[in-house]
Structure 1
Amino acid sequence: MSAGEKAKAKTEQAEGKAKETVGRAVGNERMTAEGQATKSKGDAREAKEKTKDAFKH
């Protein structure tokens, strides 16, 4: 996994989790949903990079 893509994935996951948590704390469903979407995007990016690494070997 390239370091840049790995960092992007981890950043998206962390941002999404934070936004989701804040959204739940203040009762904002839209913010919670946006946080979940951002976290999922990071998860998908990480999975894609792991798959690419698996096929390199």
Structure 2
Amino acid sequence: MTDALYLARLDGAVVEITGDEGRHAATVKWTSPGERLMVADGWPRSRDPRRGH
């Protein structure tokens, strides 16, 4: 199964998914701490973090 992809700013070591993307991750996808998420900022780079607390 493909990891979910969310849009967020990739400025530092910690990525915070907020707004509509964060709400979707928490309430629609029911992501859990430690679950893999793909995060991109719309530029040709991405990160492969695990959801924190």
Q: TM-score range by the shorter chain?
A: under 0.3
TM-score scaled by length of structure 1: 0.23
TM-score scaled by length of structure 2: 0.24
From the CA coordinates, give the structure whose radius of gyration is larger. Answer: 1
* Structure showing the higher strand proportion among its residues: 2
